[in-house]
Structures are given as C-alpha cells and as structure tokens.
C-alpha cells in the first residue's frame, strides 16, 4: 500500500504543486515555476493535441479523478475480503455499542 501511495500520489503532488506555483507566478527564481513557462507548456501541449491550451487543465483534473476512482476500485476489489471482515467484525460493532452504553459517555450530557 505504501508503494501505491508513492507511485499514485507522488506524480499528482508534483504536478499539482507545479501547476499551483506556476499559475500564480511564484517562481522562487526557477524558470519552470514562472507564468511564462506555464503558458509555454500549455501552448506546446495544446498545439500537439490540436486543442485550446486553456482547455487542458480541466481535462487533466478529470483524468486524475477518473484514474483515482479506477485505482481505488481495483484496490478495494483486491482487498474485499479484508474490508468485509472489518465491516462485519465484532470488534468494530462492539466498540460502537460499548461507547453508546457507557454511562460515563459525556456526549449525551445536557
């Protein structure tokens, strides 16, 4: 699971950080973080794909959401036995019941 997070969240974090810094021109002296580089990257991708450069960020965001949903569906399918055991587990249900029946529970205090 650790490697899944590294290989899934790592590139998304790097892309999101670059996009946020370059869109707001927070360059810290690095050319790739300037607004000029930001516009140039999207212009090049727009020319390669034959679409308007301003339509690329929403497409990338939609792709990230869909890919993440598919990835977590696959992980959930592979771990369905553990998830069902946790869901049906007596520890989880006993823990909830015990906290509700506890007279020292101050969540019902007036």
Q: What is the pLDDT of residues 11-58, one digit of tens each?
A: 999 999 999 999 888 888 888 889 999 999 999 999 999 999 999 999
Check residue 12 and give its pLDDT.
94
Close Cβ partners of 21 (under 8 Å, ≥ 6 residues apart): 27, 28, 33
CA distance 3 to 71: 13
Q: Is residue 6 part of a domain?
A: yes
The pLDDT of residue 108: 58
Q: pLDDT value at position 5?
A: 78
Which residue range is the domain that position 15 belongs to? 2-100
Q: pTM surpassing 0.75? A: no
**Is 110 a member of any domain?**
no
For residue 109, being part of any structural domain is answered with no
Q: Is residue 105 part of a domain?
A: no
Q: 6 or 91: which carries more pLDDT confidence? A: 6
pLDDT per residue as tens digits for the range 74-88: 989 988 888 888 888
pLDDT for res 21:
92
In a domain, 13, yes or no: yes
- Which ranges of 79-107 does DSSP label H, i.e. alpha helix? 80-88, 90-101
Domain count, the chain: 1
Classify residue 107: in a domain, yes or no. Answer: no
């Amino acid at each position: 699971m650790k490697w899944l997070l590294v290989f899934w969240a790592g590139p998304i974090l790097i892309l999101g950080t670059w996009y946020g810094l370059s869109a707001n021109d927070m360059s810290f002296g690095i050319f790739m973080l300037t607004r000029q580089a930001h516009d140039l990257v999207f212009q090049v991708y727009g020319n390669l794909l034959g679409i308007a450069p301003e339509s690329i960020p929403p497409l990338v965001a939609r792709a990230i959401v869909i890919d993440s949903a598919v990835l977590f569906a696959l992980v959930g399918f592979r771990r369905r036995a553990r998830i069902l055991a946790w869901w049906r587990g007596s520890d989880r249900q006993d823990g909830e019941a015990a906290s509700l029946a506890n007279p020292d529970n101050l969540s019902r205090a007036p």
